[in-house]
Amino acid sequence: MNPKLISILILFIVVSCSNKERFPAKQSERITYDSTSVTDLNSSNYGQFNQLFTFVKQYNDKDPAFSLKAFEEAYSQFLTTHSGNIKSAVGLPIWIEISGLLLELTGEEKYAQQLEELSKTDSLSEYIKPFVLTKRVDHIYVNLFEPVEINYNHTLGGEVNFRQETSYPKSGSVRLHFGMTEKRYIELYIRIPEWAEGTTVVVKKVKYFTQPGSYCVIAKKWKEGDLVEIELPIKNYPKNQL
């Protein structure tokens, strides 16, 4: 093989690997709704969220300066110094976008927890709605417990309907309903809040393992009428989130 061609090939591989590290694939992605986007704010000044929002812009623009590790570290440091006054800050949709992107990139429960703490504020509901359920190809992530319904076509064919029924946090009962034209394999990821020790997740009398601060995973073939029954110990629900 031509030495010059080999050099170009090596350079391409190195650059490709570097880009994969710099711009990791999302673990799951928000589901698009006709809802308010943070970009509708049309502002370049996001107050105390300015530094963190820079990471969002870098990721969206595929800026070589982007670093997921630096993003997570800056986010953690921000929480340490501002956790007591985030809810009263101006520009909370920006915080939702920041936390939502980290949820998509990492799949970690702690970022969904930040969204949940704002989810009961009526003026923010439209910004949070795209993150209630996220999806990776055919697989569904239940990040927040709110009534919602989605429909999509499975990659192997056939329509899938998925509906979440709940009055959370008034009740700890959550019901996930499947409707589908064909029996299909889907991985379901159910968020177990860090405070929810003792949560039960049951499908057809089979109880699945739950770990607070993580996701309960159910990987199986689903069919029309399948039901997931979730019971969260709502008596332990943090009072500061009500």
Instruction: Locate the DSSP E strands across the chain.
Output: 29-30, 133-136, 139-142, 148-153, 159-166, 173-180, 184-192, 200-203, 206-208, 214-222, 227-231
Domain 132-242: CATH superfamily is: Maltose phosphorylase, domain 3 (2.60.420.10)
pTM of the model: 0.86
Render pLDDT for 120-155 as a digit per residue (tens, 0 to 9): 888 898 899 999 999 999 999 999 999 999 999 999
**Largest interatomic CA distance in the chain:** 70
Render pLDDT for 77-110 as a digit per residue (tens, 0 to 9): 999 998 777 877 778 899 999 999 999 999 999 9
Q: Kindly list the distances between the CA atom of residue 142 and the CA atoms of 44, 46, 138, 167, in Å, as whole numbers in the listed order.
A: 32, 29, 13, 15
Return residue ranges of the chain for CATH 2.60.420.10: 132-242
Q: How far apart are CA 219 and CA 186, in angstroms?
A: 6
Render pLDDT for 2-52 as a digit per residue (tens, 0 to 9): 555 445 455 545 445 544 455 688 999 998 765 545 554 555 667 889 999
